[in-house]
Structure 1
Amino acid sequence: MGSSSSKSKPVAPVPISTTVTVHTTVQTSTAALPDSEGESLFDNPDISYFALAFISGILSTLLVVAVVCLIRKRYKRSQENLQEQIPSKTQREESAENIQNEVFYASVVIKPQPKAAPV
């Protein structure tokens, strides 16, 4: 149907050139590796962090207890100083207050009346 000029010519793939460069570095150490016999329990960083957290918890608890004790001691001293500054009352005033503040209890006994004899 068509002439030879209208037919497509096959295209051959052109090879793609790629270049990959790999650099490697190897470091060697002359220090000997530690033996399992010489390892310490605290060489593991996780155990060290737990030990540090435990010790800091104990120390912070002691600090809080010390602060609370000092505050209570200061409060008691201030209360004692206030009581010393207030003049004490005489014995008559104190005894009069005690009598006014007393509560008296009365006891009542109810005796049943004897039943009357029928007539």
Structure 2
Amino acid sequence: MPLITLGPEFELAGAVFNLSRYYLNRFKDVYRQATIDLMLGNPVSEDIFSQQERGAAATDEEDAAATAEHVKLLIEDCKKMLISDSDEVLGAWGLIDADPVTGDPEETEMDTILILARDSYYVA
């Protein structure tokens, strides 16, 4: 069966989906395993649950910093995949569709990346 080559946009969408799924499931798995260990009577490090005790403000700041770093790395990866070395990148932004009519006004997660080059623009 011949291999069908899909465009870079489709490959990027797949990579973003897989990276997001891994990122979210990684943290869920840590708490699941800690809960299982507690139920079995196995020792569990208090560091796992200390995030809840630190308070919402510290957690929100850490989450915001981690999210900003995640977005930055995601945009850099998109630039590497879509832009050739000879093309000059003028800017790149993560966009949120928070339009009350077409999107979700409560949305806070980036769902589109816009990359502006000297001769073209890319939407991923």
Q: Shorter chain as normaliser: what TM range?
A: under 0.3
Whose helix fraction is larger, Structure 1's or Structure 2's?
Answer: 2
Whose strand fraction is larger, Structure 1's or Structure 2's?
Answer: 2
Higher relative contact order (Cα pairs below 8 Å, separated by 6+ residues): 2
